[in-house]
Amino acid sequence: MNGEAPVDLAHDLERLRAGERPTARSTSVDARKEFTQWRTAIAHALLADLRPGDHTPMVWLLEQERADIASGNTTDVELLYRLIAATARFAQPEDALLIWRAAQTTDETRIGVDVEQALRAGTEAVLRRLEWLVTSNGAQAKDAQAALAWVREGITNGAASDLPAYFAWSDERFGLHISGPT
């Protein structure tokens, strides 16, 4: 997707939407930097033209950005915030754990990510999903327990008191406009 030829973001974005998930060509510092720059450009392109079917590429981009920030390959926390808000926009309860993990990426994100993002799928649906992950005792149970505590604390502190107003603010703050329903 990001070979030696000039980058064609529109073409690469369509390939990403079609299910391709590229990786850096090598583990060299230069290759990793080039891939991160490409992925950042693709993320901005996707955010500028978000569509109802873009949930899967959005989740992939959020996972990639979170990993890159955690490993020190990039420090673009603002992009991480936008990707969190865009992923939340799709209102999928299963994304609550990913949103919590993204919120835990740095000291800044632990303060800067609002629990309301995780609640976009509906308070009860998110609680049920996280509770299920906790009781399943799977590989995600420990993180799900911490995410559940984060969500419950947020609810106790009033995070669920006016979610529609929060979502309107969030969409405006992060420049999110989706063509069609999500």
Q: What is the DSSP string of 41-95?
A: HHHHHHHHTB-TT-HHHHHHHHHHHHHHHHHTS---HHHHHHHHHHHHHT--GGG
Residue 1 lies in a domain: no
> Which pLDDT score is estimated for 89?
95
Residue 181 lies in a domain: no
162: domain range?
Answer: 9-173
Name 85's Cβ contacts closer than 8 Å, sequence gap at least 6.
Answer: 117, 170, 171, 173, 174, 176
Report pTM: 0.91
Residue 180 lies in a domain: no
Residue 41 lies in a domain: yes
Residue 3 lies in a domain: no
Please, what is the Cα angle at 60 between 174 and 53, to 5 degrees? 70
> Which pLDDT score is estimated for 180?
59
Question: Read out DSSP for 103-144?
Answer: HTSSHHHHHHS-GGGGGGG-HHHHHHHHHHHHHTTSTTHHHH
77 within 8 A of 112, measured Cβ to Cβ: yes
> Which pLDDT score is estimated for 73?
82
Q: What is the per-residue pLDDT across 10-56, written as a single tens digit (0 to 9) for each?
A: 999 999 999 999 876 677 888 888 888 999 999 999 999 999 999 99
> Which pLDDT score is estimated for 31?
85
Number of domains within the chain? 1
Output the average pLDDT for the chain. 91
Residue 113 lies in a domain: yes
Tell me how far apart the alpha carbons of residues 30 and 127 are, in angstroms, rounded to a whole number.
Answer: 42
> Which pLDDT score is estimated for 23?
78
> Which pLDDT score is estimated for 5?
40
Residue 61 lies in a domain: yes
Low-confidence ranges of the chain (pLDDT < 70): 1-7, 24-25, 179-182
Residue 104 lies in a domain: yes
